[in-house]
């Protein structure tokens, strides 16, 4: 009878450094909220920055803006950021915008039009172009209006923004607010009467959703 082969247990490498993982925020202690660095890209609105866990737009990530209709002030919300990025030489791409941007208004808001790119595409091509611009690492920010985007498509956009170290902004119908989303940040517009617009934070990565809304912008 032949002898049974000896079984040699596989070598075990060095155990992970728990302290290092806690510092890197890849894990956190049960019962505690994860520590979040205030390293976001400023929105240009001090009150909104104070509401967001990272002190601004999450970098290298997708932000969803949920709207009841076009033209409720969503671009006014972003213009301070877009102006700052283009003035620093960063490229801002608009993928299949529903309306042609009015150049004099964007310029008056401080956007350097030399660094503004507009990409026209049909619904299917727009989603592909949105993802490629995010992934390219050539853009500081990419704005898209994806009409055909399921959870898998949104996840690809989130991964692309992370890969390209880019700010991604997806404008979507408010009806999608009830659906889960992989976006790092979700803001939903709500009417605020004579005081202008208000934006509710529906989801924010790395912190609790604030109960207070950001108000004050007009369409």
pLDDT tens for 30-60 read 444 454 556 899 999 999 999 999 999 999 9
Across residues 71-86, what is the average pLDDT? 95
Q: Which of 83, 93, 101 is nearest to 41 (CA)?
A: 83
Sorted by where each begins, the domain ranges of the chain are: 18-215
Across residues 52-79, what is the average pLDDT? 94
C-alpha 195/C-alpha 112 separation (Å) is 30
Across residues 164-190, what is the average pLDDT? 94
Q: Which CATH architecture has domain 18-215?
A: 3-Layer(aba) Sandwich (3.40)
Which range of 52-56, 66-70, 88-92, 187-191 scores highest in mean pLDDT? It is 88-92
Would you say the C-alpha torsion 95, 100, 103, 105 has a positive or negative sign?
negative
Provide the terminal-to-terminal Cα distance of the chain, rounded to the nearest Å. 87
Confidence of residue 3 (pLDDT cuts 50, 70, 90): very low
Across residues 94-103, what is the average pLDDT? 94
Residue 191's CB: how many other CB atoms inside 10 A? 10
| pLDDT, mean over the chain | 83
Q: Is 214 exposed, middle or buried (0-12, 13-18, 19+ CB in 10 A)?
A: buried
Q: Which of 89, 40, 88 is nearest to 63 (CA)?
A: 40
Q: What pLDDT shows up at residue 49? A: 93
Q: What pLDDT shows up at residue 192? A: 66
Confidence of residue 147 (pLDDT cuts 50, 70, 90): confident
Across residues 84-107, what is the average pLDDT? 96
* pLDDT above 90 coverage of the chain, percent: 63
4-40, pLDDT tens digit by residue? 444 444 444 555 565 554 444 444 454 444 545 568 9
Q: Do the beta carbons of residue 78 and residue 169 sit within 8 Å?
A: yes
Q: What pLDDT shows up at residue 22? A: 46
C-alpha 129/C-alpha 96 separation (Å) is 9
* pLDDT above 70 coverage of the chain, percent: 74
Q: pTM for this structure?
A: 0.80
Q: What pLDDT shows up at residue 2? A: 43
Would you say the C-alpha torsion 210, 216, 217, 219 has a positive or negative sign?
positive
- Quick check: 65 pLDDT over 50? yes
Higher pLDDT, 217 or 153: 153
């Amino acid at each position: 009878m032949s002898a049974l082969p000896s079984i040699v247990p596989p070598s075990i490498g060095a155990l992970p450094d728990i302290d290092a993982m806690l510092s890197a925020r890849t894990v956190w202690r049960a019962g505690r909220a994860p520590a979040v660095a205030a390293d976001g890209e400023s929105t240009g609105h001090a009150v909104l920055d104070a509401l967001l866990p990272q002190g601004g737009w999450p970098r290298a990530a997708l932000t969803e803006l949920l709207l009841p209709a076009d033209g409720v002030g969503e671009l006014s919300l972003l213009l301070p950021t877009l102006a700052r990025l283009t003035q620093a030489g960063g490229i801002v791409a608009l993928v299949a915008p529903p309306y042609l941007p009015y150049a004099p208004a964007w310029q008056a808001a401080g956007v350097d039009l030399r660094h503004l790119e507009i990409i026209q595409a049909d619904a299917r091509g727009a989603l592909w172009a949105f993802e490629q611009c995010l992934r390219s690492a050539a853009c500081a920010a990419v704005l898209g209006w994806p009409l055909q985007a399921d959870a898998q498509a949104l996840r690809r956009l989130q991964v692309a923004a992370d890969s390209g170290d880019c700010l991604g902004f997806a404008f979507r119908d408010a009806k999608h607010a009830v659906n889960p989303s992989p976006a790092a940040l979700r803001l939903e517009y709500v009417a605020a009467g004579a005081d202008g617009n208000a934006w509710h934070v529906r989801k924010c990565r790395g912190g609790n959703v604030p109960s207070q809304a950001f108000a004050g912008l007009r369409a």
